[in-house]
Chains A and B, each alone.
Chain A
């Protein structure tokens, strides 16, 4: 039996006893007064009156006993949430009724609030623990910042000052986010976490990898991990503790591999540029002059260039993800246009292979918030698979609609070989390929991994339904532009118009 049930039973017993007591008093009154008062009815009335009065008095006493634990709990909450420490902690030992339950609840509250002990902590104790925590901040062997509930830095160490290249008077008394130039890999930033904590949490901690920190002045950019701890109304004044773990050496070593990939990609792209250029010249100059066979060859030439281009882009993107360098620029996008544009070359390829791609796009779709290049790559990677794995079937359907959750949902359905159930959980993993079909179909196992990363970074979901022999349905969701409009306007995205793979800067804004 737990503490709560015990308390419930105790109060039931008390109330039952009180009923018996007042009933007994009523019976006694009736018994002794019926001879005095010659009316039987009069005696009964008097007895009832006395019983009801007794019951009222007892109930009022019982009420105060039973409500007392709640009052104590209320005091505990007031104590931990008040700023001034003038309030003293309620003494739990004085609680008689339901002490076990109240003690355990109160201790849990103290635990959440980070208070070490309930009743014996006083002003001096607080000061002592504050001093202790300041000493720890000073001696801690990594850069460390403490800030209060106004998000203003209250304490830091020399190591931290050296690390960010700043004087203490530029740091203390300022907001962390105004002083530190931190660059996170996603919208999952320290600042968002801090705000979320203050709105919804009592205690929490979090770790970020691969954060870029730009020190003041001409110092080189640092790469670090960050860990942070939150404790609402901590009595020692350490509302937030943020530690920086320098990883510049480790991460820049990894970045050199991006350097190598970047070089390889450059060398691959140069002949690709030429291939596309000459194919275009042929298509333009020879159109209508070639027989079907040669026209087909020319198309196959373009398809081969596309295939190489997709591979190069995938390799580059995976490398960027590994190095947390993949950044998306979200814009307001007419989705039906994006689908048509980004699938144009694959539609041609499907035709060459005797397959038909049908579009089933809902009319009047609201605009989505998307990085058009990346979403184009997602659609292409999924569609490429659909073409590859559709085998004998000739039909592929691309649909887009507004789903009940208010997101734009895209599905790409093929009626080909399908995916065995045991493979599905891993299908979005990197380099994952079905070992049974590995010999049958070519591929790198990068496409769906990239799709997942890109869609997730957009705030959407991606999933697959499939039955072997019946085909697969890949679906993903994108957020509406209207949901992100405010956020987009406050960022500097509007300064840059990005079109397919290039952008033009708003000129008047650039020239000073």
Chain B
């Protein structure tokens, strides 16, 4: 497994499915990332405001606040956010809606179409 090259990168995982979190945390830890997990939308947004992360994995169907709302709000409130936001969802958008989400994120993955390891190597390509 390839290690992150410069320092330890911090990943914020905003995702409400516990099993997915367990799997992502394991794969990310193995690749040398620090992982913080948040399971509801509002808490996720607060954590995002700290700007303490290199990468954010953002689910869409979240309790309390939808991922799309979080995205909109954080882009508005923190235009210079350091973290790269990757939308990680299993939700299928209409083209129009998807384009709107894409324009605000730094990346977009369908969770069911990659294994945790593949997801990690996708994140490694961000640099």
- Same complex origin of A and B: yes
> Which residues of B lie under 8 Å from residue A340 when comparing CB positions?
none
Report if B90 contacts A (CB, 8 A).
yes
Contact A325 B115 (CB under 8 A): no
How far is it, in angstroms, between the C-alpha of A272 and the C-alpha of B113 when the chains are bound? 9
Q: Closest CB-CB distance, A303 to chain B, in whole Å?
A: 15
Determine the chain A residues whose CB is within 8 A of the CB of B115 once the complex forms.
276-277, 279-280
Give the residues from 79 to 127 in chain B that come closer than 8 angstroms, CB to CB, to chain A.
Answer: 84, 90-96, 102, 105-118, 122, 125-126
Interface on chain B toward A: helix, strand, loop, or mixed SS? Answer: mixed
Q: Is the interface on chain B under 10, 10 to 19, 20 to 34, or 35 or more residues?
A: 20 to 34
Among residues of B, the one whose C-beta sits closest to the C-beta of A373 is B113
Is A504 part of the binding interface, using a Cβ–Cβ cutoff of 8 Å? yes
B5 to chain A, nearest CB (A): 17
B26: CB under 8 A from chain A? yes
| Closest beta carbon of chain A to B16's beta carbon, Å | 10
Partner of B116, one of A277, A327, A500: A277
Q: Which of the residues B26, B61, B108 comes within 8 Å of A502, measured between beta carbons?
A: B108
Q: Which residues on the A side are within 8 Å of B126 (C-beta)?
A: 504
Q: In the complex, which residues 303-330 of chain A have their Cβ closer than 8 Å to any Cβ of chain B?
A: 309, 312, 316, 325, 327
Query: Which residues from chain B contact A270 at a C-beta distance below 8 Å?
Result: 17, 20, 90, 111-112
Task: Say which residue of B23, B94, B96, B112 sits within 8 Å of A272 (CB atoms).
Answer: B112
Say which residue of A309, A325, A503 sits within 8 Å of B113 (CB atoms): A309
Instruction: Assess whether B109 is in contact with A266, with CB atoms less than 8 Å apart.
Output: no
A-B contact count (CB 8 A): 91
A273/B94 in contact, CB under 8 A:
no
* Complex contact B112–A309 (CB within 8 A): yes
A505 interface residue per 8 A CB criterion: yes
**Complex Cα gap A444–B84 (Å):** 40
Residues of chain A within 8 A of B84, CB atoms compared: 507
For B24, list chain A residues within 8 Å (CB): 277
* Seed contacts A276-B115, A501-B109, A502-B107; 12 additional CB < 8 Å A-B pairs: A221-B96, A266-B61, A266-B91, A268-B112, A273-B20, A274-B17, A277-B23, A500-B113, A501-B113, A501-B114, A507-B84, A510-B106
Q: Report B's interface with A, CB cutoff 8 A.
A: 17, 19-20, 23-24, 26, 61, 84, 90-96, 102, 105-118, 122, 125-126
User: Considering the chains assembled together, what is the distance between the CA atoms of A55 and B96 in angstroms?
Assistant: 79
- Which residues of chain A have a CB within 8 Å of any CB of chain B? 212, 221, 255, 258, 261-262, 265-266, 268-270, 272-274, 276-281, 284, 309, 312, 316, 325, 327, 496, 499-505, 507, 510
Supply 26 A–B pairs (Cβ within 8 Å), ascending by A.
Answer: A255-B94, A258-B94, A261-B92, A265-B92, A268-B112, A269-B110, A269-B111, A273-B20, A274-B17, A274-B19, A274-B23, A277-B23, A277-B24, A280-B115, A280-B116, A309-B112, A325-B94, A327-B95, A496-B102, A501-B109, A501-B110, A502-B122, A503-B107, A504-B106, A504-B126, A505-B106
- CB-CB nearest in chain B for A221: B96
Q: Contacts A270-B112, A281-B26, A309-B113 hold; do A325 and B95 have CB atoms under 8 A apart? A: yes
Instruction: For B125, give its contact among A273, A284, A504, A510 (CB under 8 Å).
Output: A504
B89 nearest CB neighbor, chain A only: A266
* A256 CB, nearest partner CB in chain B, Å: 11
Chain B residues positioned under 8 Å from A269 (CB to CB)? 90, 110-112
Alpha-carbon separation in the docked complex, A512 to B45 (Å): 22
- In the bound complex, how far is the Cα of B67 from the Cα of A159, in angstroms? 39
- Least CB distance, A187 to chain B, in whole angstroms: 15
Whether the pair B90, A273 counts as a contact (CB closer than 8 A) is yes
Residues of B within 8 A of A221 (CB): 96
**Which of B115, B117, B125 is most buried by chain A, counting CB atoms within 10 A of its CB?**
B115
Point out the residue from B91, B96, B107, B114 that lies within 8 Å of A504, measured CB to CB. B107
Q: Give the distance in Å from the alpha carbon of A95 to the alpha carbon of B119 in the complex.
A: 81
**Whole-angstrom distance between the alpha carbons of A510 and B125 in the complex?**
17
Nearest A residue to B104, CB-CB: A510
Nearest first, the 4 closest Cβ-Cβ pairs linking A and B are: A277-B23, A269-B112, A501-B113, A269-B90
- Shortest CB-to-CB span from B91 to chain A, Å, is 5
